[in-house]
Amino acid sequence: MIETDILIIGAGPTGLFAVFEAGLLKLKCHIIDGLPQPGGQLTELYPKKPIFDIPGFPSVLAGDLVDNLMEQIKQFQPGFTLNEKAETIEKREDGTFIVTTDKGTQHHAKAVAIAGGLGSFEPRKPILKDLEFYEQEDKGVEYFVKDPEKFRNKKVVISGG
Protein backbone atom coordinates (compact mmCIF):
# COMPACT_ATOMS: atom_id res chain seq x y z
CA MET A 1 0.00 0.00 0.00
CA ILE A 2 1.28 3.45 -0.92
CA GLU A 3 1.28 5.88 2.03
CA THR A 4 1.15 9.66 1.56
CA ASP A 5 -0.09 12.87 3.16
CA ILE A 6 -2.08 14.02 0.12
CA LEU A 7 -3.24 11.82 -2.74
CA ILE A 8 -3.93 13.87 -5.86
CA ILE A 9 -6.19 12.36 -8.49
CA GLY A 10 -5.16 13.92 -11.79
CA ALA A 11 -1.68 14.71 -13.12
CA GLY A 12 -2.67 17.68 -15.27
CA PRO A 13 -1.32 21.17 -14.59
CA THR A 14 -3.62 21.71 -11.60
CA GLY A 15 -2.61 18.42 -10.00
CA LEU A 16 1.08 19.11 -10.60
CA PHE A 17 0.83 22.60 -9.13
CA ALA A 18 -0.99 21.16 -6.10
CA VAL A 19 2.13 19.05 -5.46
CA PHE A 20 4.21 22.24 -5.45
CA GLU A 21 1.92 24.06 -3.01
CA ALA A 22 1.73 21.02 -0.70
CA GLY A 23 5.49 20.61 -0.88
CA LEU A 24 5.97 24.16 0.39
CA LEU A 25 4.01 23.03 3.46
CA LYS A 26 6.27 19.96 3.83
CA LEU A 27 3.44 17.58 2.85
CA LYS A 28 4.27 14.44 0.89
CA CYS A 29 2.18 13.89 -2.26
CA HIS A 30 1.38 11.03 -4.58
CA ILE A 31 -0.50 11.43 -7.88
CA ILE A 32 -2.78 8.96 -9.68
CA ASP A 33 -3.61 9.47 -13.36
CA GLY A 34 -5.25 7.30 -15.99
CA LEU A 35 -2.88 8.52 -18.69
CA PRO A 36 0.61 7.04 -19.21
CA GLN A 37 2.40 10.34 -18.52
CA PRO A 38 1.83 13.53 -16.49
CA GLY A 39 0.40 16.63 -18.12
CA GLY A 40 -3.19 15.69 -18.82
CA GLN A 41 -4.81 17.49 -21.72
CA LEU A 42 -1.67 19.56 -22.35
CA THR A 43 0.44 16.47 -23.04
CA GLU A 44 -2.25 14.27 -24.53
CA LEU A 45 -3.94 16.69 -26.93
CA TYR A 46 -1.68 19.61 -27.84
CA PRO A 47 1.87 19.64 -26.43
CA LYS A 48 3.10 22.01 -29.20
CA LYS A 49 0.21 24.49 -28.89
CA PRO A 50 0.87 27.90 -27.34
CA ILE A 51 -1.27 28.78 -24.31
CA PHE A 52 -2.00 32.39 -23.42
CA ASP A 53 -3.85 32.24 -20.10
CA ILE A 54 -1.15 31.17 -17.63
CA PRO A 55 -0.29 33.85 -15.05
CA GLY A 56 3.19 35.24 -15.57
CA PHE A 57 3.56 33.83 -19.10
CA PRO A 58 2.41 35.92 -22.07
CA SER A 59 2.71 32.68 -24.07
CA VAL A 60 4.02 29.20 -23.30
CA LEU A 61 3.89 25.94 -25.22
CA ALA A 62 1.69 23.37 -23.47
CA GLY A 63 4.49 20.79 -23.37
CA ASP A 64 6.94 23.34 -21.97
CA LEU A 65 4.49 24.23 -19.20
CA VAL A 66 4.28 20.56 -18.21
CA ASP A 67 8.08 20.25 -18.32
CA ASN A 68 8.41 23.36 -16.12
CA LEU A 69 5.85 22.05 -13.61
CA MET A 70 7.65 18.69 -13.45
CA GLU A 71 10.95 20.48 -12.86
CA GLN A 72 9.34 22.68 -10.19
CA ILE A 73 7.96 19.71 -8.20
CA LYS A 74 11.05 17.49 -8.54
CA GLN A 75 12.45 18.87 -5.27
CA PHE A 76 9.44 17.44 -3.38
CA GLN A 77 9.86 13.93 -4.83
CA PRO A 78 6.20 13.13 -5.46
CA GLY A 79 5.17 9.59 -6.26
CA PHE A 80 3.24 8.72 -9.41
CA THR A 81 0.81 5.93 -10.22
CA LEU A 82 0.22 6.35 -13.96
CA ASN A 83 -1.95 4.43 -16.40
CA GLU A 84 -4.36 3.65 -13.55
CA LYS A 85 -7.68 5.26 -12.69
CA ALA A 86 -8.96 5.91 -9.17
CA GLU A 87 -11.91 3.58 -8.81
CA THR A 88 -13.00 3.75 -5.16
CA ILE A 89 -12.47 6.16 -2.29
CA GLU A 90 -13.17 4.88 1.21
CA LYS A 91 -13.10 7.16 4.25
CA ARG A 92 -11.88 5.31 7.33
CA GLU A 93 -12.96 5.86 10.94
CA ASP A 94 -9.70 7.67 11.70
CA GLY A 95 -10.49 10.25 8.97
CA THR A 96 -7.92 8.95 6.48
CA PHE A 97 -8.71 7.57 3.04
CA ILE A 98 -8.05 4.39 1.10
CA VAL A 99 -8.13 4.91 -2.67
CA THR A 100 -8.05 1.86 -4.91
CA THR A 101 -7.28 2.03 -8.63
CA ASP A 102 -8.78 0.00 -11.45
CA LYS A 103 -5.64 -2.18 -11.32
CA GLY A 104 -5.97 -2.84 -7.59
CA THR A 105 -3.23 -0.49 -6.35
CA GLN A 106 -4.15 0.85 -2.92
CA HIS A 107 -3.18 4.26 -1.57
CA HIS A 108 -3.55 5.41 2.04
CA ALA A 109 -3.76 9.19 2.44
CA LYS A 110 -4.60 11.77 5.07
CA ALA A 111 -6.34 13.86 2.38
CA VAL A 112 -7.48 13.40 -1.21
CA ALA A 113 -7.51 16.21 -3.79
CA ILE A 114 -9.40 15.66 -7.03
CA ALA A 115 -7.82 17.54 -9.94
CA GLY A 116 -9.61 15.61 -12.66
CA GLY A 117 -9.71 18.28 -15.34
CA LEU A 118 -11.74 17.24 -18.35
CA GLY A 119 -11.32 13.54 -17.65
CA SER A 120 -10.52 10.90 -20.25
CA PHE A 121 -10.27 12.02 -23.85
CA GLU A 122 -12.48 10.12 -26.22
CA PRO A 123 -13.05 11.61 -29.67
CA ARG A 124 -16.43 11.33 -31.34
CA LYS A 125 -15.61 9.16 -34.32
CA PRO A 126 -17.40 9.43 -37.65
CA ILE A 127 -19.33 6.43 -38.89
CA LEU A 128 -17.28 5.45 -41.94
CA LYS A 129 -16.62 2.14 -43.63
CA ASP A 130 -13.19 0.67 -42.77
CA LEU A 131 -12.43 3.51 -40.33
CA GLU A 132 -10.39 1.17 -38.10
CA PHE A 133 -7.92 0.55 -40.94
CA TYR A 134 -7.28 4.26 -41.43
CA GLU A 135 -6.90 4.84 -37.69
CA GLN A 136 -3.74 2.74 -37.65
CA GLU A 137 -0.47 4.65 -37.34
CA ASP A 138 0.40 6.63 -40.49
CA LYS A 139 -2.75 5.51 -42.35
CA GLY A 140 -4.33 8.96 -42.41
CA VAL A 141 -6.90 9.45 -39.64
CA GLU A 142 -5.71 11.43 -36.62
CA TYR A 143 -7.80 12.69 -33.73
CA PHE A 144 -5.23 14.96 -32.07
CA VAL A 145 -2.38 17.07 -33.44
CA LYS A 146 0.50 16.34 -31.09
CA ASP A 147 3.19 17.24 -33.63
CA PRO A 148 2.22 19.93 -36.17
CA GLU A 149 5.35 19.17 -38.24
CA LYS A 150 3.84 15.83 -39.23
CA PHE A 151 1.26 17.76 -41.26
CA ARG A 152 3.47 20.48 -42.78
CA ASN A 153 3.14 20.75 -46.58
CA LYS A 154 0.45 18.06 -46.68
CA LYS A 155 -3.15 18.28 -47.75
CA VAL A 156 -5.44 17.71 -44.78
CA VAL A 157 -9.15 17.66 -44.08
CA ILE A 158 -10.33 18.86 -40.69
CA SER A 159 -13.72 17.77 -39.47
CA GLY A 160 -15.22 18.98 -36.20
CA GLY A 161 -13.92 21.53 -33.76
Mean pLDDT for 117-141 is 69
For residue 120, what pLDDT is reported? 60
Residue 138: pLDDT band by 50, 70, 90 thresholds? low
Global pTM value:
0.77
**Pick among 3.50.50.60, 3.40.50.1820, 3.40.718.10, 3.30.499.10: CATH of 2-114:** 3.50.50.60
Contact 51, 60 (CB under 8 A): yes
Contact 120, 34 (CB under 8 A): yes
What Å distances lie between residue 37 and 16, 81, 143, 160, CA to CA? 12, 10, 18, 26
Residue 38 has pLDDT above 60, yes or no: yes
